[in-house]
Amino acid sequence: MHSEDGEAYRDDPRWAVAERVADAARRRFPADVLAVAVHGPLAHGDDDGGGDGEVGLLVVTYRPGGRPAATRRVDGVLVDLTVAAADDYLQRARALTPLWPLTADRYVTTRALHDPTGWLRTLRDEHLGRLARARPAEFSAAARQAWYRGSAAHARALRLAEWYETDQALLMLGEARLAAATVSGLLSRTYFRDPGDAVRRTGLAGADMTEVGTVLAKQAEELAARGRPVDGTVDDLLDG
């Protein structure tokens, strides 16, 4: 884990790999790299140092035209690397999408490996500022979109269970749980560290088919009360 002065303990393989990647990126693209940071457990400072967890690593560049995200196992450590232009990533941080509860943490909680201009502070401020300006209707609209995903997954899980396709039914039930947790996060303006955290904190981690259906039904009622009913007419559909 990182100490308060930013130096890594030598016995933590994840920090060691993260710093190696950061150093390599700065050497390869010395004029392009604006900031490098970790997000996820390492950023929160509560990783166990066992080396078996994923490292979420962000490389921010000055210029647009980034590359797709890449994932590799480096010295036994799984590294999920995102390379993004600064302006593009700030635009993402300002977006309020149905997946906001699962993405916000990477904008708010980061630990710098290289940030000479304080750009990560700008990233956090931009995201929090967007949330402060967001109207309740924006969260409700995003929640409704997430609810549709959960409802569809739940209906599919029910049908698969009727067909005795147990494994597939469980997979779809997992999707329904996560979508319902995302709806809860949007309705309460709560973000989560990862999908596991989302279903745990909303009490959906062990929810069965009936319980998930009950949660979705209650969420539909709340959305209707907020002026975002999940059901509508053909005209409603065409009007958006």
Q: What is the largest CA-CA distance in the chain?
A: 63
Would you say the C-alpha torsion 42, 47, 51, 54 has a positive or negative sign? negative
- Residue 215's H or E segment, with its range, is helix 209-225
State how beta strands 55-61 and 77-85 pair.
parallel
The CB-based long-range contact list for 23-30 (8 Å cut-off, 24+ gap) reads 25/59, 26/114, 29/61
Beta pairing partners, 37: 58, 112
Question: What's the pLDDT tens digit per position in 87-129?
Answer: 999 999 999 999 999 999 999 999 999 999 999 999 999 999 9
Mean pLDDT of the chain: 91
Give the pLDDT of residue 53: 74
Question: What's the pLDDT tens digit per position in 64-88?
Answer: 766 767 999 999 999 999 999 999 9
Q: Using 50 as the pLDDT threshold, list the residues of the chain that sit under it.
A: 1-6, 8-10, 48-51
Listed residue (69, 72, 68, 79) closest to 17, CA to CA = 79
Give the pLDDT of residue 3: 39
Give the pLDDT of residue 65: 66
